[in-house]
Amino acid sequence: MPGSGQADPPSVREGDFLREVIAATAGDSRLGCCIQCGTCGGSCPSAADMDHTPRMLFAMIRAGLRGEVLRSTTPWMCVSCYFCAVRCPQEVHIPDVMYAVKAIATREGVMPDSTAPDFSRTFVSNIHRYGRSYEVGLAAKHYIRHYPLRLPGMAPMGIAMVTKGRMGFAPHRIRGVAGLRAILARAEELERDGATREVPA
């Protein structure tokens, strides 16, 4: 469109983002082969809470709508049930694509308006600290932070978990936590250098 002031012609942006997502997905995602049939969107137990259905997200990736895709709640609402993955007629590795989109969004600090990224981050910081996770404590923390109104209702459950011995007070710290941190640091470096995987041509 001459004089419209648009940055890149859409044709350039489109392919680029699709390629970026494919490259960020482990293995062969087959994302380029999606036929937009909607089997994924029909299968998804979380579809109602997503701002776009999985299928729509893939169409947007192809259309090069990078910003909208990275800000979408869709991948964060994915529960990894793999219903879509086993039903997709094109064998697109849908949950893996969801992870890839989340990871790109995380790296760029573009987050949707959802508590999901925060939960992931808290979870991960626990792992960094202990090498193990601390599920129940984590859940409590997350509820305090994001759903304080639910807490009174949840109290009996919390009490039950404690009295029934199902809620430790601090997680066990593994011996090799230093080694683990070194491994994760190296992985992060490698990822930054873009050496995570061979990018298909």
Partner 1 sequence: MSASNLPAQPDGARERIGVYVCHCGSNIAATVDVEAVRDWSAEHLGDRGVVVARDYKFMCASTGQELIEQDIKELGLTRVVVAACSPHMHEKTFRGACRRAGLNPYLCELVSIREQDSWVHTDRTAATAKAEAIVAGGVYRVAHSEALEPFRVPIDPATLVVGGGIAGISAALEIADAGFPVHLVEREPSIGGHMAQFDKTFPTLDCAACILTPRMVTAGMHQNITLHTWSEVTDVAGYVGNFTVTIKHRARYVDTALCTGCGICQEKCPSKVVDTRYEAGLGYRKGVYTPFPQAVPKYPVIDVENCIYFEKGTCGACKKLCPTGAIDFDQKDEEVTVKVGNIIIATGFELFDARRVEQYGYGRMPNVFTSLEFERMSNAAGPTAGRIVLRDGVTEPKAVGIVHCVGSRDRNYNNYCSAICCMQSLKFAHLVREHTDATVYEFYIDIRAPGKAFDEFYQRVMEEGSVFVRGRVAAISDTVRLPDEEAHQGRLIVSVEDTLAGVQRRIPVDMVILSSGLEPATDAQEVARRFGITCSADGWVIERHPKLDPVATMTEGVFAAGCALGPRDIPASVANGAAAAARVLARIQEGELALEPIRATVDQERCSGCRICNDLCPYSAIVYHGWEQVSEVNPALCQGCGVCIAACPAGAISGSGFSDVQILSQIDGLLTALGGAPPGPAVEEREAVPA
Partner 2 sequence: MSATFLYYPGCSMDGSARAYASSLEVVCRVLGIDLHEIDDWNCCGASEYVSLSQAKAHALVGRNLALAEQQRNGSSTLVAPCSLCYVNLAKTDHYMRKDRGLAASVNAALEAGGLAYTPGAVKVRHLFEVIVEEIGLDAVHAAVTRPLAGLTVAPYLGCLVTRPDYDGRWASKEHPVAFDRLLASLGAEVVDFPLRTDCCGGHMTQISPDTGFELIRRLVDAADRLGADMLVTLCPMCQMNVDAYQGEMNRHFHTHHHMPILFFTQLMGLAFGATASELGFGSEVVSARHALGRIGIEVPVAEPPPDATDGPPVRPRREKKPQGLPMPVMPDETEAVR
Residues 6+ positions from 8 with CB-CB distance below 8 Å: none
Nearer to partner 2, 14 or 83 (CB): 83
Residue pair 191/185 in contact (Cβ under 8 Å)? The answer is no
Nearer to partner 1, 37 or 187 (CB): 37
Q: Residue 191 CB, nearest distance to ligand SF4 (Å)?
A: 23
Long-range contacts of 195-199 (CB under 8 A, 24+ apart): 196/24, 197/23, 197/26, 199/19, 199/23
Residue 173 DSSP code: P
Contact window for ligand SF4 (CB under 6 A) among 13-21, 35-43, 116-124, 127-135: 35-43
Nearer to partner 1, 94 or 134 (CB): 94
Contact window for ligand SF4 (CB under 6 A) among 51-59, 106-114, 144-152, 167-175: 51-59
State how far the Cα of 114 lies from the Cα of 98, in Å rounded to an integer.
Answer: 15
Nearer to ligand SF4, 96 or 134 (CB): 96
Element (H, E) at 176: none
Q: Taking CB under 8 A as the rule, does residue 82 contact partner 1? A: no
Residue pair 87/39 in contact (Cβ under 8 Å)? The answer is yes
Q: Residue 199 CB, nearest distance to ligand SF4 (Å)?
A: 21
Footprint on this chain of ligand SF4 (rule: CB under 6 A): 34-40, 43-46, 54-55, 58, 78-84, 88-90, 92, 94-95, 98
